[in-house]
Amino acid sequence: MASGQQWVLVEMVQAFYEAPAYHLILEGILILWIIRLLFSKTYKLQDSSDLTEKEIEEIIEEWQPEPLVPRMSKEKPAPSYNIVSGPPCHKITVNGKQCINFASFNFLGLLDNDRVKNQALQSLRKYGVGTCGPRGFYGTFDVHLELEDRLAKFMRTEESIIYSYGFATIASAIPAYSKRGDIVFVDEAACFSIQKGLQASRSHIKYFKHNDMEDLERILKQQELEDQKNPRKARVTRRFIVVEGLYMNTGAICPLPELVKLKYKYKVRIFLEESLSFGVLGQHGRGVTEHFGVNIDDIDLISANMENSLASVGGFCCGRSFVIDHQRLSGQGYCFSASLPPMLASAAIEALNIMEEDQDIFRLLRDKCKHIHKELQGILGLKVVGESISPAFHLQLEQSSGSRESDVRILNRIVEYCMDRKIALTQAHYLEKEEKFLPPPSIRVVVTVEQTEEELEMAANLIKEAAQNILQ
């Protein structure tokens, strides 16, 4: 039939009369078959099982589930927590022993600061403790808006958004932008909250070796070649690089200028996790972007938690409004969870005030880090892992004793040795079965601005002594 030919009713009726009988009968049967299929009951294949009622009952009787939680064996009882009595600040009482705190991430010493406490108290007297609702339903307080404003101004970005839990910050931010089918390039040493965010996003994850820009470039090139094979798909696939400013697991700093170069070369967006570097690196404490002098607009999203330098609770993301505003409707930890208690937000604002007033603490902190880093070099049996200006670094065994368990036991003995002699340390704990790339066991040493030179010396000497006694 020529296209554009129009069926006229008369012609249709004519064709009907002209068709041979068998043709009409066949069509009639087909129509009846279609009607039958439309009205017949649909059934799933499973239902056509030929088990009798009695057999079903028996199967249900016989089935035994696994116990809800696996039985803990008697030889390896669950390790118990350290109990801290009193405030966890510079002088801390752990398990009844008074020690100097080298384990809490209290970098700027703001946990015990009177101004912060008083501000929180004032806020408590005005707002009570809880917010009784998520941000969308009368859970937005003026202190939240003020804190978001202040953080955006401090970091020199357009907008910021607060979360009520540090872990949930990056774990909600990543799935808000990266969906199924998108590609994320992430460092192997990324912390657990990033891994959970990636898992929730259901995107393709490609790991590159820790801090190895050549490896990253290699897989970016690979991806580029694949894109050329399927350009239509490539045009809608979003690409992200997720890195940390200062890595929690290794104490290394990411090479941000090279990353920015790679960003523009291969058209990938950068998400930067600055939990450890916010309030630590940079001349004014603005983090790794200030440390390297990178334009902050080049980073698409900066996420950090307020539980380290700001000594409060919660987290924030900052960046351009174009990027951040999206999380107000699609960040799961923001929309479906109660907002941050106002007293904690006030405490964070006051901590920010202190950070802005006293510009010198950052340099002071870095000097102390360098000092203890130098002191701890050359201990037989232990090696220092981390940058010299990183306030949270690791001490790993130079030679593993064979199994992870025995390594952990040895490090535990060192930790206990130090705890008995007034230095509180801790091992870096991981969920061994859940981590993608399990870091080796280590002791995490944290430097804070409140520690004096004598205390740093004492700690260094004690660790050397412990290593000598236990590892030799």
Partner 1 sequence: NSSHICHNGGIYKRPFKESFEETPMLVAVLTYMGYGILTLFGYLRDFLREWKIEKCHNATEREEQKDFVPLYQDFENFYTRNLYMRIRDSWNRPICSVPGAKFDILERVSYDYNWTFKYTGRIVNDVINMGSYNYLGFAENSGVCADAAAEMTLKYGVGVCSTRREIGNLDKHEELEKLVAKFLGVEASMAFGMGFATNSMNIPALVGKGCLILSDELNHASLVLGARLSGATIRVFKHNNMQSLEKLLKDAIVHGQPRTHRPWKKILILVEGIYSMEGSIVHLPDIIALKKKYKAYLYLDEAHSIGALGPTGRGVVEYFGLDPRDVDIMMGTFTKSFGAAGGYIGGTKELVDYLRTHSHSAVYATSMSPPVVEQIITSMKCIMGEDGTTLGQERVQQLAENTRYFRRKLQEMGFIIYGNDDSPVVPMMLYMPAKIGAFGREMLKRNIGVVVVGFPATPIIESRARFCVSAAHTKEMLDTALNVINEVGDLLQLKYSRHRLVPLLDRPFDETTYEENED
Query: Which residues 79-98 are close enough to bind partner 1 by CB under 8 A?
Result: 79, 81-89, 92, 94
Q: Does 297 bind partner 1 (CB under 8 A)?
A: yes
53 near partner 1, rule: CB under 8 A:
no
Closest CA to 127 of 139, 135, 117: 139
Strand partners, 98: 93
The one-letter code for the residue type at 331 is G
Residue 384, beta-bridge partner list: 395
Kindly indicate which of the ranges 142-150, 249-257, 378-386, 452-460 contains the residues binding partner 1, using the contact rule CB under 8 A.
142-150
Tell me if 319 contacts partner 1 by CB under 8 A: no
Number of neighbours of residue 419 by Cβ within 10 angstroms: 18
Binding segment for partner 1 among 1-9, 24-32, 191-199, 461-469 (CB under 8 A)? Answer: 191-199
> Interaction with partner 1 in 216-275: which residues (CB under 8 A)?
234-239, 264, 267-269
The answer to the question of residue 104 lying near partner 1 (CB under 8 A) is: yes
Instruction: Pick the closer one to partner 1 by CB: 5 or 46.
Output: 46
Task: Output the smallest distance, CB 425 to partner 1, in A.
Answer: 9
Site for partner 1 in 381-410 (CB under 8 A): none
d(CA 285, CA 279): 4
**Type of residue found at 270:** I
- The only residue of 34, 336, 380, 401 in contact with partner 1, by rule CB under 8 A: 336
Contacts of 80 (CB under 8 A, 6+ apart): none
Taken in order 294, 297, 301, 302, is the CA torsion positive or negative?
A: positive
DSSP code for 72: P
Q: Can you tell me the distance from the alpha carbon of 285 to that of 462, in angstroms, rounded to the nearest whole number?
A: 31
CA dist., res. 46 & res. 72, Å (int) = 39
Answer yes or no whether residue 162 interacts with partner 1 by CB under 8 A.
no
For position 54 contacting partner 1 by CB under 8 A, the verdict is no
378 binds partner 1 (CB under 8 A): no
Integer Cα distance of 133 and 131 in angstroms? 6
Binding to partner 1 by residue 74, rule CB under 8 A?
no
The reply on whether position 140 binds partner 1 by CB under 8 A is: yes
Report if residue 130 touches partner 1, rule: CB under 8 A.
yes
Place of tokens 């279609």: 34
Out of 150, 156, 188, 199, name the contact with partner 1 by CB under 8 A. Answer: 199
Cβ-based nearer residue to partner 1, 36 or 74: 74
